[in-house]
């Protein structure tokens, strides 16, 4: 049996298994069966980003869920963290987000949250997979008189905005702040400008004209140069670039300097430590977090835990070590006191609040740590064969490690959401970094590309 769930839910090309109507319907039935308790009424909430295939998958999921006697709440286009929030605040038994995050519109994905807004544990995903592949849920449909209903929640955006505003210290004012926002033609295209406007900021929007096929297209967090250029052109104070489902963010200051997830962690962890709100004086990063960030935290007596790449792994380490801040270099940042998953809008508010409270421009927070040269090369692969089973790759990796010695780090891993191998090399010598990365990525490409 093939595995349906990856590191971040289910993902694939729209209208092909597993991102087709047939699988979505079965998934809806299986999920409904796992959360439904005998004699109790159950509800599942469904949100989506702006991909055209979202309509198809939403309808199929709704059909499968209601066929099991479970009601469906439809919130429409909303950021992934808003779906996590709404699931627990509206006391749903589970929440579903239809999105492929930063991927292009041809792809789509399905992320599932439990009633507390956390992504499903592995054992529940395995139970759902078994129900789907064994067709067990199909045989357990509700009687005609017990079929579930579906209804739309019209004020979901307003609920989320109120939640986010309550995460900002009321002493902090955004009045006079001028912000460029790139919504990536995705899920934040409505909520982002409305939120910032209600907080008093002046907002200039780009990437806010979704048509179902332009999500992440040369815009958003993968193309922060758009907000950089517009901030410089308009003389604004900062720029915010989200991805398609707005669970990650990249910022820029008034000079156009980019803040990635590592920069954001440095800013927020330092401020929280000074305020006494950084739980257990520690944070979680990932194996991709820059070595310079780790050394910076050591100098600040902040413990630094590395997890595998993926916000579910970041969250797992946060729970294990009882920490309330963690994140990825890509811009997924989790403020566990406020939300249960990476939240781009919440992250923006946290960073901007720190700057506004201090009265200093955002640029004064750039360069808090000395960044080691780090090179990441993505190599498309036909199949994700374990690297240790490919002799030429093993040989190249050993040679790279010998050449690097103790001067830096090498990370070779597969993407959890795409057919890509990621080669990361980090050291103080940028030329050596390039040489080692090129040689190792070439070996991977020859063997697996």
The sheet carrying 420-427 orders its strands as 374-380, 420-427, 408-414
Domain ranges of the chain: 10-154, 159-258, 260-365, 374-448
pTM for this predicted structure: 0.91
Domain 159-258: CATH class, spelled out: alpha beta
Element (H, E) at 48: strand 43-48
Tell me, which fold does domain 260-365 have in CATH?
A: Alpha-D-Glucose-1,6-Bisphosphate; Chain A, domain 3 (3.40.120)
Q: Which tens digit of pLDDT belongs to each residue from 206-228?
A: 999 999 999 999 999 999 999 99
For residues 237 and 176, the answer to whether their CB atoms sit within 8 Å is: no
Please provide the CATH number assigned to the domain covering 10-154: 3.40.120.10
**Burial (0-12, 13-18, 19+ Cβ within 10 Å), 139:** exposed
Listed as ranges, residues in the chain with pLDDT below 70 are 1-2, 38-39
Q: How far apart are CA 84 and CA 96, in angstroms?
A: 8
**Nearest C-alpha neighbor of 120 from the set 130, 110, 106:** 110
φ/ψ (deg, to 5) at 155: -110, 25
Rounded alpha-carbon distances, angstroms, from residue 425 to 169, 289, 307: 40, 12, 17
Active site residue 21: no
pLDDT of residue 2: 58
What CATH number matches the domain at 374-448, 3.20.20.70, 3.30.310.50, 3.30.360.10, 3.50.50.60? Answer: 3.30.310.50
**Is there a common fold for 10-154 and 374-448?**
no
**Which three-class secondary structure state does DSSP give residue 151?**
strand
Q: How far apart are CA 248 and CA 99, in angstroms?
A: 13
pLDDT of residue 8: 83
pLDDT of residue 1: 44
Alpha helices in 52-190 (DSSP H): 53-66, 80-89, 122-133, 156-165
pLDDT of residue 39: 64
Q: Which tens digit of pLDDT belongs to each residue from 404-431?
A: 887 788 999 998 778 899 999 998 888 8
pLDDT of residue 418: 80
pLDDT of residue 102: 93
Q: Which of 53, 66, 99, 101 is catalytic?
A: 101
């Amino acid at each position: 049996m093939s595995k349906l769930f990856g590191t971040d839910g289910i993902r694939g090309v729209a209208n092909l298994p597993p991102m087709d109507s047939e699988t979505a319907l079965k998934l809806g039935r299986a999920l409904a069966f796992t959360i439904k308790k005998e004699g109790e009424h159950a509800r599942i909430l469904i949100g989506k980003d702006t991909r055209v295939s979202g309509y198809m998958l939403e309808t199929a999921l709704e059909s499968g869920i209601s066929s099991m006697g479970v009601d469906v709440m439809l919130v429409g286009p909303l950021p992934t963290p808003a779906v996590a929030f709404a699931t627990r605040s509206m006391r749903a038994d589970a929440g579903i987000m239809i999105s492929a995050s930063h991927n292009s519109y041809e792809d789509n994905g399905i992320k599932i949250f439990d009633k507390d807004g956390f992504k499903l544990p592995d054992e529940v995903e395995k139970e759902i997979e078994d129900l789907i592949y064994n067709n067990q849920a199909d045989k357990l449909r509700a009687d005609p008189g017990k079929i579930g209903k579906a209804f739309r929640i019209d004020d979901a955006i307003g609920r989320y905005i109120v939640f986010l505003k309550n995460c900002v210290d009321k002493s902090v004012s955004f009045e006079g702040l001028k912000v460029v926002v790139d919504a990536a033609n995705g899920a934040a295209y409505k909520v982002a400008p409305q939120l910032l406007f209600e907080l008093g900021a002046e907002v200039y929007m780009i990437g806010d004209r979704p048509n179902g096929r332009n999500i992440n297209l040369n815009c958003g967090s993968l193309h922060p140069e758009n907000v950089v250029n517009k901030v410089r052109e308009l003389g604004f104070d900062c720029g915010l670039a989200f991805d398609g489902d707005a669970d990650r963010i990249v910022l820029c200051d008034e000079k156009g300097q980019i803040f990635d997830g590592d920069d954001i962690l440095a800013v927020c962890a330092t401020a929280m430590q000074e305020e006494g709100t950084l739980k257990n004086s520690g944070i979680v990063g990932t194996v991709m977090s820059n070595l310079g960030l780790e050394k910076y935290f050591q100098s600040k007596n902040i413990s630094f835990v590395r997890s595998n790449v993926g916000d579910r792994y970041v969250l797992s380490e946060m729970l294990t070590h009882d920490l309330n801040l963690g994140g990825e270099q890509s811009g997924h940042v989790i403020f566990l006191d406020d939300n249960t998953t990476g939240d781009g809008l919440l992250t923006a508010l946290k960073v901007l609040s720190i700057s506004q409270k201090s009265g200093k421009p955002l640029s004064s927070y750039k360069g808090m740590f000395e960044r080691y040269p780090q090179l990441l090369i993505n190599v498309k692969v036909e199949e994700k064969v374990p690297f240790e089973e490919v002799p030429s790759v093993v040989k190249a990796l050993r040679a790279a490690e010998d050449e690097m010695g103790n001067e830096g780090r090498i990370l070779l891993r597969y993407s959890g959401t795409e057919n890509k191998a990621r080669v990361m090399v980090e050291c103080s010598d940028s030329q050596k970094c390039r040489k080692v990365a090129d040689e190792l990525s070439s070996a991977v490409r020859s063997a697996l590309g």
